[in-house]
Amino acid sequence: MEQKVPVLWTEQLATTQEDLPDPKAVDLYEFRFSDFPITEHGLIQCGLRLFFEINVVEKFKVPVEVLTRWMYTVRKGYRSVTYHNWRHGFNVGQTMFTLLMTGGLKKYYTDLEAFAMLAAAFCHDIDHRGTNNLYQVKSTSPLAKLHGNSILERHHLECSKTLLQDESLNIFQNLNKRQFETVIHLFEVAIIATDLALYFKKRTMFQKIVDACEKMETEEEAIKYVTADPTKKEIIMAMMMTACDLSAITKPWEVQSQVARLVASEFWEQGDLERTVLQQQPIPMMDRNKKDELPKLQVGFIDFVCTFVYKEFSRFHKEVTPMLNGLQNNRMEWKSLADEYDARMKVMEEEVRKQEEGNMIEKAAEDSGSGIDDKKSKTCLML
């Protein structure tokens, strides 16, 4: 028994670059990437591959066994909840990689910054409980006592930083003090930025950067404008984290429709807890009795939250347009399901109305004298 775990770990740690998946074969450079055909273990291998692809392993002298151990531990840090599990964590990392490489956003960042952004993306929801910040507050969870705002995000950040305190997991162990501080600062900005409550505040700031870059004559001018100001780089990075976190909404319909059901299921599970534990009525989004409203809720979410993110990113970098196209296609699909549902409801309402009308006529007939006579005659006939 005691032998089994170390043997398994030795096997896992023996990973070499050659054993890792071919990025092209599994669409690692594509916005349309789907984790569905890949096992959870396979995703760890893909994650390792991404660090090699951005060339940080050699450059920052990351011991391969430390990187491997860190990746396995990150995966283990995710609970097996319905949606906010390791698969979601991986997808956010993969989208960060794709935005940097395929989307061309790497040009604003140093290799060290890209390294930190990719690692932070993988870690961003570690130890998520499948319930949101408001639930932590309402249930007075220990986390809510610990953190005043962005409760879960602060917890994910703490977990991520704790991993790095263990030298056998510290992928940044060969950085100098200043570099290490930069990484930790970026982890803080990136992970806290995944709190959607903060997204609305940074929207205008991001839009201003995109507006300014759009007016510039050359690419060099835009790069200079962004890179000369660390705040601009952080605003873009924060918005990239949001784009990654919500990226399931941009995936091909077969993927999006399934992932949306996982998100909804986790919400409904929270709704159940609100009813049973908190004795409160959940909001429609978390109420499994209002399942049929999912398509309408998705259209609303796309219109009020997601469209801005992918429209602005596509305007900023045209290479990101596949995400916007995917989003618009999914909007069309959800809208037609929502319209179908509305049409069905209309028919049902009409039937109810007709039924009620019929009942009223009958009642009026009963109340009038003739109705009574009819009944009498009927009785007479039967007799």
Active site residues: 84
86 is in an annotated binding site: yes
DSSP assignment letter at 24:
T
Please identify, among the stretches 125-133, 137-145, 338-346, 349-357, the one whose residues bind Zn ion according to the rule CB under 5 A. Answer: 125-133
> Please, which residue, 125 or 266, has the CB nearer to Zn ion?
125
Give the C-alpha separation, 244 to 18, whole Å: 28
> Please, which residue, 68 or 245, has the CB nearer to Zn ion?
245
279 is in an annotated binding site: no
Nearest to 182 by CA among 258, 120, 90, 248: 120
- Please give the full DSSP string across 294-319, using - where no structure is assigned: HHHHHHHHIIIIIHHHHHHHHHH-GG
3 is in an annotated binding site: no
> Please, which residue, 184 or 196, has the CB nearer to Zn ion?
196
C-alpha angle 27-330-293 in degrees, rounded to nearest 5 = 130
Q: Rule CB under 5 A: which of 134-173 touch Zn ion?
A: none
Please identify, among the stretches 40-48, 237-245, 272-280, 308-316, the one whose residues bind Zn ion according to the rule CB under 5 A. Answer: 237-245
- Tokens, residue 150: 């962005």
Give the C-alpha separation, 45 to 15, whole Å: 9
- In the complex, the smallest distance separating the C-beta of residue 80 from Zn ion, rounded to whole angstroms, is 15
317 is in an annotated binding site: no
- In the complex, the smallest distance separating the C-beta of residue 126 from Zn ion, rounded to whole angstroms, is 10
Of 35, 125, 153, 274, the residue at the interface with Zn ion (CB under 5 A) is 125
156 is in an annotated binding site: no
> Please, which residue, 112 or 238, has the CB nearer to Zn ion?
238
Cα 60 to the center of its chain, rounded Å: 29
Total binding residues toward Zn ion, as defined by CB under 5 A? 2
Nearest to 244 by CA among 180, 207, 190, 179: 190
Give the C-alpha separation, 175 to 166, whole Å: 15
Residue corresponding to tokens 């006579």 = 373
> Please, which residue, 209 or 264, has the CB nearer to Zn ion?
264
Of 35, 153, 195, 245, the residue at the interface with Zn ion (CB under 5 A) is 245
- In the complex, the smallest distance separating the C-beta of residue 79 from Zn ion, rounded to whole angstroms, is 13
- In the complex, the smallest distance separating the C-beta of residue 91 from Zn ion, rounded to whole angstroms, is 9
- In the complex, the smallest distance separating the C-beta of residue 143 from Zn ion, rounded to whole angstroms, is 16
- x/- site string to Zn ion, residues 280 to 299, per CB under 5 A? --------------------
> Please, which residue, 35 or 245, has the CB nearer to Zn ion?
245
Distances (CA, A) of 328 to 23, 169, 251: 27, 41, 10
Please identify, among the stretches 70-78, 103-111, 121-129, 336-344, the one whose residues bind Zn ion according to the rule CB under 5 A. Answer: 121-129
> Please, which residue, 134 or 212, has the CB nearer to Zn ion?
134
125 is in an annotated binding site: yes
Tell me if 98 sits within 8 A of 29, measured CB to CB: yes
- In the complex, the smallest distance separating the C-beta of residue 84 from Zn ion, rounded to whole angstroms, is 6
CB atoms inside a 10 Å sphere around CB 6: 9
Q: Which residues contact 65 (CB under 8 A, 6 or more apart)?
A: 13
Question: For residue 212, what is the enclosing H or E element?
Answer: helix 196-214
87 is in an annotated binding site: yes
Tell me if 308 sits within 8 A of 336, measured CB to CB: no
- In the complex, the smallest distance separating the C-beta of residue 156 from Zn ion, rounded to whole angstroms, is 8
- x/- site string to Zn ion, residues 81 to 120, per CB under 5 A? ----------------------------------------
Residue corresponding to tokens 């909001």 = 283
Q: Which residues contact 233 (CB under 8 A, 6 or more apart)?
A: 108, 109, 113, 226, 227
Interface ranges with Zn ion (CB under 5 A):
125, 245
Pick out the residues of the known binding site for AMP: 84-88, 125, 245, 298
Binding residues for Zn(2+) are 88, 124-125, 245
